[in-house]
């Protein structure tokens, strides 16, 4: 069996987890991100990313702080792994006290070649339900790649700073540590600066992709008058780092609310597209494969 066939054999693998939504989790997430308390709009969208990951025994932790390769996700040997993007449909709100079940399926394992060498994309379909009602559908792309210092920082660029709406948030070490704790994420690039610089060759601590995506969802909703989102798709373009203020931008387009997260030099770290109606827009369907800047 070739390596490609071996990886393809993971397609169709499933996993199911059930959790109870604690009422205080929304306030905890808002507090970590420095966002205002709920004004009647309900739980922050992106909250579901806090609910289903588990603390595994220390014997099952790899050198990068993540659970060891294998298990539900295929045992891909490329050393760097990143959450490249997601496409999400919000079909019904999450409420405190809900018992939620997430059913996950490996939808695709796709080897590719990029400027920095070999890549493998793993696409995972998640369905979050409460009883018989589906609340959230998400297609998530995880990318595995070689370590490449040349691709570590989004370059400074000239850009139009006249977005319809913008704000700046400054993630620091404390925010990243607290978000890691909320999400049970022990990946060392988010809290161990020596490891991030010396092993994975980043210039500093890396801001979590879902942390940035949650901020973009919140800002999309704010720019739409606090309307809840019906869909959101995001794509990681380049890592963002502690010490770089994040500029969040939002502009209304024919397809929905286009959002961007930039570093201090204007370099693009993440782009997103949100809609506030189920049939609005054409760019957030549950198909396709995200790519990352190399």
CATH code at position 26: 3.10.129.10
Does residue 284 lie in a domain region?
A: no
Q: What is the pTM of this model?
A: 0.89
- Cα torsion at 213, 217, 220, 222 (round to 10°)? -130
Domain count, the chain: 1
Residue 283 has pLDDT above 80, yes or no: no
Q: Report the mean per-residue pLDDT for the chain.
A: 86
Residue 75 forms part of a structural domain: yes
Binned at pLDDT 50, 70 and 90, residue 279 comes out as very low
User: What is the span of the domain harbouring residue 63?
Assistant: 3-275
Is the pLDDT at 50 greater than 60? The verdict is yes
**Tens of pLDDT, residues 61-87:** 888 888 877 778 888 888 888 899 999
pLDDT at residue 39, as a whole number? 64
Please indicate, yes or no, if residue 287 is contained in any of the structural domains.
no
Residue 179 lies in a domain: yes
In a domain, 291, yes or no: no
Confidence of residue 163 (pLDDT cuts 50, 70, 90): confident
- Residue range 178-190: mean pLDDT, rounded: 94
Task: Please indicate whether residue 205 or residue 289 has the higher confidence score (pLDDT).
Answer: 205
Looking at the domain assignment, is residue 286 inside a domain?
Answer: no
Assess if residue 35 is contained within a domain.
yes
From CA 248, how far away is CA 259, in angstroms rounded?
Answer: 7
| Residue 122: inside a domain | yes
Mean pLDDT score, 34-56 = 85
């Amino acid at each position: 069996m070739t390596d490609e066939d071996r990886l393809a054999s993971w397609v169709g693998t499933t996993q199911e987890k059930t959790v109870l939504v604690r009422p205080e989790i929304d306030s905890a997430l808002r507090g970590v991100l420095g966002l205002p308390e709920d004004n009647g709009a309900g739980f922050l969208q992106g909250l579901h990313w806090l609910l289903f990951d588990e603390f595994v025994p220390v014997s099952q932790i790899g050198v990068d702080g993540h659970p060891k390769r294998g298990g539900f996700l295929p045992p891909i040997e490329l050393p760097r792994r990143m959450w490249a993007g997601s496409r999400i449909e919000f079909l019904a709100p999450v409420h405190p006290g809900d018992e939620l079940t997430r059913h996950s399926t490996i939808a695709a394992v796709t080897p590719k070649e990029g400027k920095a060498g070999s890549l493998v994309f793993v696409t995972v379909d998640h369905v979050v339900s409460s009883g018989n009602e589906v609340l959230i559908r998400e297609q998530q792309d995880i990318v595995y790649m070689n370590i490449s210092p040349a691709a570590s920082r989004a370059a400074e660029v000239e850009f139009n700073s006249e977005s319809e709406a913008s704000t700046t948030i400054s993630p620091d070490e404390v925010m990243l540590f607290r978000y890691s704790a909320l999400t049970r994420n022990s990946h060392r690039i988010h809290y161990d600066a020596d490891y991030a610089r010396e092993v994975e060759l980043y210039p500093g601590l890396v801001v979590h992709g879902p942390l940035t995506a949650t901020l973009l969802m919140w800002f999309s909703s704010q720019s739409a008058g606090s309307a809840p989102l019906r869909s959101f798709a995001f794509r990681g373009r380049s890592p963002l780092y502690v010490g770089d203020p994040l500029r969040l931008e939002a502009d209304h387009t024919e397809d929905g609310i286009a959002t961007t997260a930039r570093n201090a030099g204007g370099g693009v770290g993440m782009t997103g597209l949100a809609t506030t109606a189920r049939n609005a827009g054409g760019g957030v369907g549950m198909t396709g494969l995200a790519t990352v800047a190399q």
